[in-house]
Amino acid sequence: MSDSSPHTIYRPLYVDRVKPFIGKQMIKVFTGQRRVGKSYLLYQIINYIKSEDINANIIYINKEDLKFRAITNAENLNDYVIEHQSKEFKSYVFIDEIQEIENFELALRSLLLDERIDLYCTGSNAKLLSSDIAGQLSGRFIEINVYSLTYIEFLEFHQLENTDEALQKYLKYGGLPYLKHLSLEEEMVFEYLKNIYSTIVFRDIINRYGVRNTAFLEQLIYFLASNTGSLFSAKKISDFLKSQKINIAPNQVQAYIQHLVNAFLIHQVKRYDIEGKRLFEIGEKYYFENLGIRNALWGYRLEDFGKMMENVVYNHLLAHGYTVHIGTLGANEIDFVAEKHGEKIYIQVALSLLEEKTIEREFGNLQKIKDNYPKMVVTMDAFAGNSIEGILAVDLRSFLMNSWSEKYKE
């Protein structure tokens, strides 16, 4: 790889996470949807390594580049790295879209035996990477999930001030990094996002899994786009489709949903019993990894604004390392139970709190939770007043800027 890498905007959420593992005999795996910026994160890590180790030997393999088309299997990969390895200094090996290499895990296991080799790779298929690497390399890898830009990153990439208008753009167009090269206009952005969507569907789902019923796959994606954040099971989706004269068995629905999850197009969020402290086996919600792709497919509609708010709150929590579930408390629902390092946050999302019955519902559900973890209602309304029994009302922009967290430290 040449010394000059594309100019990139630093993404500390991910680069700082991998720094403690640089030089360690552990494979660093970056997973995420296509075009969320995994390749550029590799460039940033390469630049950091070069600044720390002037003798670093960088080996970079990009399986989307025809130059590397001869590397098709584990043997090819192993041979290429050995051929380009430095005899004197440490070699840092970066493999982009590694799932395109057959039996890649065998090569990684072999290369990991050499203390002079430090391994990094990216991939766009959750199941392939997690199952193969976990099976062959248990305890010898770290996986870092990469997501679309957070709101703060979006502002930096597009050099925007934190305003209501900027938030609207973020909600409408999502956070794929390449958008910084386009003017944020609907026709141009949605055309780009539809092309990315097509690539994901055809390369990461249809081709990889040999999906034959492509018409149903597309209908399922549109169904999930129109029902973002609604509670469904595979059987309920199957029953609905039957009412539309589409006869698909629940197990096939579940298989297709899993393909979408594996390709990082959507997130499947399970329900969590707050009192019983267990996950329910059926009934999930679905959110899109990238809201812009969802809106390019389904449209940016006023009546969907609450759904988009939920989706962006969920994505924000994921990007900051939380494990997120839908909370249930008897007959009541808590939009999100987010957990990290053994600590929890309970979150309700409401478009507006101007009506008293909405306040009673959203705050009332949180008041029923009998522990002392932070609780908040995220809304579009700007409010700087008191909490209700310690439950904060936080406007969406403040939540996405993380300024709400300071209120709990006061």
143-199 pLDDT per residue, tens? 999 999 999 999 999 999 999 999 999 999 999 999 999 999 999 999 999 999 999
pLDDT band, very low/low/confident/very high, at 336 (cuts 50, 70, 90): very high
State residue 1's pLDDT score.
44
State residue 408's pLDDT score.
58
Is the pLDDT at 410 greater than 60? The verdict is: no
pLDDT band, very low/low/confident/very high, at 13 (cuts 50, 70, 90): very high
Across the range 336-365, mean pLDDT stands at: 95
Q: Which domains does the chain have, with CATH numbers?
A: 12-145 (3.40.50.300), 151-407 (no CATH)
**pTM given for the model:** 0.94
Is the pLDDT at 392 greater than 60? The verdict is: yes
Give the pLDDT confidence of 313-325 residue by residue, as tens digits.
999 999 999 999 9
DSSP 28-80: EEEE-STTSSHHHHHHHHHHHHHHH-TT-EEEEEETTSGGGTT--BHHHHHHH
Average model confidence (pLDDT) across the chain: 92
Tokens 């569907």, residue? 201
State residue 382's pLDDT score.
84
Q: Who contacts 263 (Cβ-Cβ below 8 Å, separation ≥6)?
A: 33, 124, 125, 126, 200, 201, 204, 205, 208
Whether the CB-CB separation of 145 and 31 falls below 8 Å is answered with yes
pLDDT band, very low/low/confident/very high, at 139 (cuts 50, 70, 90): confident
Across the range 255-271, mean pLDDT stands at: 96
Tokens 């993404």, residue? 11
Question: Residue 338 forms beta bridges with which residues?
Answer: 324, 345
pLDDT band, very low/low/confident/very high, at 56 (cuts 50, 70, 90): very high
- Percentage of the chain exceeding pLDDT 70: 94
State residue 386's pLDDT score.
74
Whether the CB-CB separation of 25 and 13 falls below 8 Å is answered with no
Across the range 354-381, mean pLDDT stands at: 94
Closest CA to 152 of 312, 261, 264: 312
Across the range 55-74, mean pLDDT stands at: 96
Say how far apart CA 363 and CA 394 lie, in whole Å.
12
Is the pLDDT at 265 greater than 50? The verdict is: yes
State residue 134's pLDDT score.
67
Across the range 122-140, mean pLDDT stands at: 75
Say how far apart CA 136 and CA 138 lie, in whole Å.
6
